[in-house]
Amino acid sequence: MQKSRITGLRRGSNTTIALAGCACLVNILAGQVARAADPSTLETVDVIARRHYVATETTAATKSDIPLIETPQAISVVTQDEIQLLQITNLEEATRYTAGIVSGSYGPDTRFDWLTLRGFTPTLYLDGLQLPTAAIQEAQSRLDTYALEEIEILKGPSSSLYGAVPPGGLVSMVSKRPTEKFFAEINVLGGNYSRYQGSFDTGGPIGDGTVLFRLTGLVKDSDTQVDFAKERKQMLAAAVTWKPFTGATFTLISHYQHDKDNTAIQYLPSQGTLTGNPNGRISTRLYISDPGYDNYARRTFDIGYDFDYRINSALAVHQNVKYTRLDVSYNTIYGQGLQPDLRTLNRFTYLVESTPYTAGMDTHLEYKADTGPIGHEILAGIDYLRSFDNSALGFGAGPSLDLYAPVYGVPIANPPISSQNIIHQDQTGAYVQEHAKLGGWVLTASGRKDWVTTDNLDNIAGVRSSQSASAFSHRIGLNYLFESGFAPYASYAKSFQPVFGNAFDGSHFKPTIGSSYEAGVKFQPQGVRALITADVFHIVQDEALTPDTAVGHTGFSVQTGQITSKGLELEATARLNDNLSLNGTYTFMNARTTRANDGTTGNRVLLVPEHQASVLADYSLLAGPLHGLGFGAGVRYVGDVYGDPTNAVNTQGFTLVDALVHYDVPNWRVAINTNNLFDKVYLTSCYSLDSCTYGARRAVMASVQRRW
């Protein structure tokens, strides 16, 4: 079996570039700190720079407004400034310049986000509550990032506050909220692949200021790099804040989004993509489904509220509630291997109907007090999540297709429903957290008890089953804050995830258990808007499912598997002055199956490269005849990956270059963003010799923004 591998020299060269970039950034920061300390070097400039490019606080990691520098956990925050600068539209794009996370593993997918965080698939949260997670991958949430204020990536176990989440971490999105001052903006965007997009965002006070509003909308219509594959979207988000009395704030948040696409992701045979084919290379534009049959439609609706009441300087109560529902209808045709002529593709039809929803509530008290020299910030709460998933799946034989002379429009019938599961799950959790400070020392400790009940109805077989599980999760971390801005930290945390199903003897599976050691240092220099983080981690997940190899037990699993992920992450985000912003990351990750019954022990976890690196810079001219002109560039490197658990097929790493240019005049911005500037053709992964995916080709976007 032929494999395509990246050479050690290329890997080392990209790693060296990334480390050199991080070192250069540290040197620049040192110079900026020195100049900031000298008043004679300060100049008055006309600021058009993004003031909030660098986040300093996080609400997701501790469910309270604790500075990032005091949090004993690696956290990345993608702010609205960065979202606008890079014209980001989804989570895959938002995490391209983030350490520890792998995105876009199956190419330019118009349906949902493929993310891997520290070797595990992260859970998605919106405004502090979990989004629907269906049993079928295609029935997942994907919110347009124009509706978001920021995106917080929590790395490592977070079950001590959130309950059932994987040990790699979670991604928490924050909706746009009403503003104290009136503003409005209109954006028009066009690009290659016949992309057209319009959006607006407005907010401000109503009347005497006790009521605030925010209204955000977007319409998008675009082709893709794949023939016949389209992306169409309509989104409307509304929020209203009411301040009924001193210290109290009630914010109602709602969001509606309709996605109607044709499948852009194409699973292609390795002959003609990864390896040679006597008929030639398979085009990146090839569409292996059928435009008259293929359809992906998803409606997303959520509504909820946040309530905050500051009773006094010591005591506050917070409650957030959210209901989110998806309606997904999907039918397509996938490839199933080449015929002996190496040009005729066998195909099968695929159908999904799914209506998952979640309804959740989280209520907690926050108490601040001092006991002598020790300051305490205590959090105690209880949350409840009700999840529902009704998903049907169908497979059927489809017509073959000539990859080099495709003919579309042949009659295609929907396949019969082969499985339908109706799943109800209830999760209740009680948690407490202590954040204590003594001089430069900061201790953060949290613990949580969860009770989870799952009920499953197999609607085809007419069989109902249920099971319950409980787990205790905790985290303890210690920081020390130096006056220079350095903050070393160390932490230990545990997580859990319920596993539904039975072993051969009928016993229920236990939850998987994750444990993590993490140590690092954060640096937030005085006088410069910057945050630099370096960390090492070691995660072990036990009770993972692995095939039951006993005689007569074919098709069953046992919980003797183990996955271990360990590595190094470097990340820097800086707004060095009103001219220049920089991002730099490097990730080394060794994620492997360390115990299994199917011969995969020692193999690398699929879709996780050992090395990743990125550098992004943006510079604006604030004086002279070209005042208002800005430009930037980014370089992204992703190392080689395996797409299957057996590590049979290896795809080599790739390096991509992005570029941007923008011009600001009062109330206006004109910008051109280009991803994959040199239009590199590459593969993201192959999860078998019959299923390889091309990466995103060059995308050019020109936009005009008007603000009031």
CATH of the domain at 569: 2.40.170.20
Half-sphere exposure of 562 (CA within 13 A, CB side): 10
CB-CB contact of 492 with 516 (8 Å): yes
Q: Which domain holds residue 144?
A: 8-707
Q: Which amino acid is at 611?
A: H
* Tokens 């959210």 belong to residue: 322
What is d(CA 663, CA 209) in angstroms, rounded to the nearest whole number?
A: 34
* Nearest by Cα to 385 from 599, 132, 199, 580: 132
- pLDDT tens-digit series, residues 79-112: 999 999 999 999 999 999 999 999 999 888 899 8
What is d(CA 118, CA 689) in angstroms, rounded to the nearest whole number?
A: 26
- pLDDT tens-digit series, residues 520-551: 999 999 888 999 999 999 999 999 888 888 88
pLDDT of residue 549: 82
What is d(CA 220, CA 190) in angstroms, rounded to the nearest whole number?
A: 10
- R_g over Cα of the chain: 25
**Residue range 592-617: average pLDDT?**
95
Q: What is the DSSP letter of 523?
A: E
pLDDT of residue 382: 98
pLDDT at position 158 over 50 = yes
Stronger pLDDT, 578 or 250, i.e. the higher one: 250
H or E element in which residue 175 lies: strand 169-175
pLDDT of residue 163: 94
Q: Map residue 584 onto helix, strand or coil.
A: strand
Q: Map residue 435 onto helix, strand or coil.
A: strand
What is d(CA 95, CA 75) in angstroms, rounded to the nearest whole number?
A: 12
pLDDT at position 48 over 70 = no
What are residue 506's phi and psi, to 5 degrees?
90, -5
Lookup: tokens for 549: 């190899």
What is d(CA 359, CA 130) in angstroms, rounded to the nearest whole number?
A: 9
Q: What is the DSSP letter of 416?
A: P
pLDDT band at 564 (very low <50, low <70, confident <90, very high): very high
pTM, entire model: 0.91
Lookup: tokens for 260: 């109607």
What is d(CA 156, CA 75) in angstroms, rounded to the nearest whole number?
A: 9
What is d(CA 118, CA 100) in angstroms, rounded to the nearest whole number?
A: 6
What are residue 9's phi and psi, to 5 degrees?
-65, -45
Q: Domain for residue 2, yes or no?
A: no
The total number of structural domains in the chain stands at 1
* Nearest by Cα to 310 from 232, 365, 387: 365
pLDDT of residue 4: 35
pLDDT of residue 50: 60
CB-CB contact of 544 with 559 (8 Å): yes
pLDDT of residue 65: 86
What is d(CA 288, CA 221) in angstroms, rounded to the nearest whole number?
A: 22
* Tokens 């949090």 belong to residue: 71
pLDDT band at 7 (very low <50, low <70, confident <90, very high): very low
Question: How big is the CA angle at 185 (ends 302 and 45), to the nearest 5 degrees?
Answer: 125
Q: Domain for residue 508, yes or no?
A: yes
Residue 217 neighbours by CB under 8 Å, 6+ apart: 199, 200, 201, 235, 236, 237
What is d(CA 247, CA 328) in angstroms, rounded to the nearest whole number?
A: 41
Q: Domain for residue 64, yes or no?
A: yes
Q: Domain for residue 569, yes or no?
A: yes
pLDDT of residue 598: 87
**Residue range 245-249: average pLDDT?**
94
What are residue 81's phi and psi, to 5 degrees?
-60, -45
What is d(CA 93, CA 634) in angstroms, rounded to the nearest whole number?
A: 13
Residue 178 neighbours by CB under 8 Å, 6+ apart: 203, 204, 212, 213, 214, 239, 240, 241, 251
Q: Map residue 36 onto helix, strand or coil.
A: helix
Burial class (CB in 10 A: 0-12, 13-18, 19+), 146: buried
What is d(CA 701, CA 697) in angstroms, rounded to the nearest whole number?
A: 13
pLDDT of residue 12: 40
Q: Domain for residue 36, yes or no?
A: yes
- Whether the CA torsion 91, 93, 94, 99 is positive or negative: it is positive
What is d(CA 222, CA 460) in angstroms, rounded to the nearest whole number?
A: 38
pLDDT at position 578 over 90 = no
Q: How many beta carbons lie within 10 A of that of residue 179, not counting itself?
A: 17
pLDDT of residue 5: 31
Q: Map residue 252 onto helix, strand or coil.
A: strand
pLDDT of residue 222: 96
Q: Domain for residue 643, yes or no?
A: yes
**Residue range 62-81: average pLDDT?**
92
Question: How big is the CA angle at 541 (ends 538 and 547), to the nearest 5 degrees?
Answer: 140
Q: How many beta carbons lie within 10 A of that of residue 527, not counting itself?
A: 14
Q: Domain for residue 461, yes or no?
A: yes
- pLDDT tens-digit series, residues 223-238: 999 999 999 999 999 9
* Nearest by Cα to 536 from 566, 563, 564, 516: 566
Segments of 459-511 assigned E as strands: 463-480, 486-497
What is d(CA 265, CA 274) in angstroms, rounded to the nearest whole number?
A: 16
pLDDT of residue 545: 86
pLDDT at position 39 over 80 = no
Burial class (CB in 10 A: 0-12, 13-18, 19+), 47: exposed
What is d(CA 562, CA 69) in angstroms, rounded to the nearest whole number?
A: 33
CB-CB contact of 605 with 540 (8 Å): no
Residue 312 neighbours by CB under 8 Å, 6+ apart: none
pLDDT band at 15 (very low <50, low <70, confident <90, very high): very low
Of 386-400, 425-439, 460-474, 494-508, the poorest mean pLDDT is in 494-508
**Chain-wide mean pLDDT for the chain?**
90
Please list the residues that pair with 484 across neighbouring strands.
none
What is d(CA 585, CA 100) in angstroms, rounded to the nearest whole number?
A: 9
pLDDT band at 51 (very low <50, low <70, confident <90, very high): low
What are residue 274's phi and psi, to 5 degrees?
-75, -40
Q: Domain for residue 1, yes or no?
A: no
**Residue range 573-579: average pLDDT?**
88
pLDDT at position 46 over 60 = no
- pLDDT tens-digit series, residues 413-442: 999 999 999 999 999 999 999 999 999 999
Q: How many beta carbons lie within 10 A of that of residue 624, not counting itself?
A: 8
